Amino acid sequence: MAAPLARLALCRAQQLISLRAFRPLSQQWACLQPSCSGRRGWGRGLAAAGSGGAALSGGSNNNSQQLFVAAAEDATSSEGSAIEDCSSLEDGQPPTAGGKSSAAAAAAAAAGGGPALEPGLYIVSTPIGNLEDITLRALRVLRSATMVLAEDTRHTRQLFAHFGIRTPLHSFHQHNERQKQALVLRQLQQGAAIALVSDAGTPAINDPGADLVSAAAAAGLPVYPVPGPSAVLAALVGSGLPTAQFLYCGFVAAKAARRKQFAALAGQQATLVFFASPHALLGALEDAAEAFGPERRCCLARELTKRHEEFWRGSLQGALAEFAERGPRGEFVLLVEGASEEAAAAAAAGTAGAGAGPVGEEQILAALREAVAAGQSPSSAAKAVAARLGQSRKLCYQLSLTLAEGMEA
């Protein structure tokens, strides 16, 4: 009983810390008073600034420059964390970059070899597994931004700790985006440089940040993508499937909607890309084999950029047998080869017929012949055609048996 209560208390404390930044300015004033240790830290930073400023301007004393930057960072380290934690999104003026003083921010930018950030929303891609995949530009933006919005601050804090980033971090996820979006837009309008990150990869792809980006663009605010790791592109280029055209379809739908999702894509000639969790993979492969044909080529990209990265290539039927035997582990990207011209034409004819009025038996038989010719069994063909044409599965199955008997005769 004690352990759950402790976890609940910790969760509540984290929520209060996250929400503290959104209190009215009058309630934050006490937070902005540095403690004694914090004042000592600021004092050291100012003293270092006074002694190292000449060396920085002359550019001849690297030791003094390093001392100045270190002292400036020390002024906003753990001794001054209370000041950083209270950076307000409701303040009349946007906080300076990284919660630092303007002099320290300028010194840090000069030491990093890059200019200060222009105001705007920065969409920053982060590693999907291998920390070496982060870009130099991403590091500069994350260090120089006014603040960073993260889907899960606990996850992003690990990234910050690895690279020594001290920029104030605020949560921004599906449960609070409506409340925080207006405050973020207000800060952007006042000249803040705000970075947006997701747990891994490129933000705004199946991510609550997409609405924020849309709102910022609609308000005429600058939006800067900072390209980098992407599970979709990494899986696609390593799959061996055609890359001239591809369609990202998001996460595999829940069981009830999955067959409709696949049936609607049966005639798509572009390579299809899905995200699939391990518990949904086998069902997705079974339904995909029915909708696209068991011999349709596919690739399963697992644990991308991590130690156990794997690309499994083969047919949908083979993939189902393989992972049913060994059990799915890790996160998957499922890629399915696009339909051939013949299959695409058959799917288009079936869709047009379904929209034009009642579907006749001849049309169902024609669709069944196409499915069987593509390698599907009569039962699998019946399920796929029934879903695509919106017909009774029982009727389609009876017609498939009739078709099979005719082919045997």
pLDDT at 15: 52
**C-alpha distance from residue 382 to each of 162, 202, 371, 387, 398 (Å):** 54, 40, 9, 9, 8
pLDDT at 173: 86
Q: Among the CATH numbers 2.60.40.1260, 3.40.1010.10, 2.60.120.1060, 3.40.50.970, which is that of 117-229? A: 3.40.1010.10
User: Domain limits of the chain?
Assistant: 117-229, 232-336, 347-408
Residues in the chain: 409
Mean pLDDT (whole number) for 76-100:
40
pLDDT at 127: 96
- In terms of pLDDT, which residue wins out, 216 or 377? 216
pLDDT at 4: 58
Q: Does the structure show a pLDDT above 70 at 211?
A: yes
- In terms of pLDDT, which residue wins out, 269 or 27? 269
182: left (phi over 0), alpha (psi -120 to 50) or beta: alpha
Reported as a pLDDT band with limits 50, 70 and 90, residue 40 is very low
In angstroms, the CA 88 to CA 1 distance is 36
pLDDT at 114: 56
Q: Does the structure show a pLDDT above 90 at 296?
A: yes
What's domain 232-336's architecture?
2-Layer Sandwich (3.30)
In angstroms, the CA 88 to CA 25 distance is 7
Give residues with Cβ within 8 angstroms of 140, minimum separation 6.
112, 114
For the record, the structure tokens of 333 come out as 């990207």
What is the per-residue pLDDT across 347-390, written as a single tens digit (0 to 9) for each? Answer: 776 655 444 445 567 778 888 888 777 777 887 778 777 777 76
Could you tell me how far CA 348 lies from the centroid of its own chain?
A: 33
Mean pLDDT of the chain: 76
**What percent of the chain lies above the pLDDT cut of 70?**
67
Q: Does the structure show a pLDDT above 50 at 148?
A: yes
What is the per-residue pLDDT across 179-193, written as a single tens digit (0 to 9) for each? Answer: 899 999 999 999 999
In angstroms, the CA 325 to CA 397 distance is 29
Q: Does the structure show a pLDDT above 80 at 339?
A: yes
In angstroms, the CA 138 to CA 225 distance is 10
Q: Does the structure show a pLDDT above 50 at 87?
A: no
Q: What is the pTM of this model?
A: 0.64
In angstroms, the CA 290 to CA 369 distance is 14
**C-alpha distance from residue 59 to each of 44, 53, 56 (Å):** 22, 10, 5
Please name which of 100, 147, 99, 92 lies closest in space to residue 119, comparing C-alpha atoms. Answer: 147
Q: Does the structure show a pLDDT above 60 at 55?
A: no
Same fold, 117-229 and 232-336: no
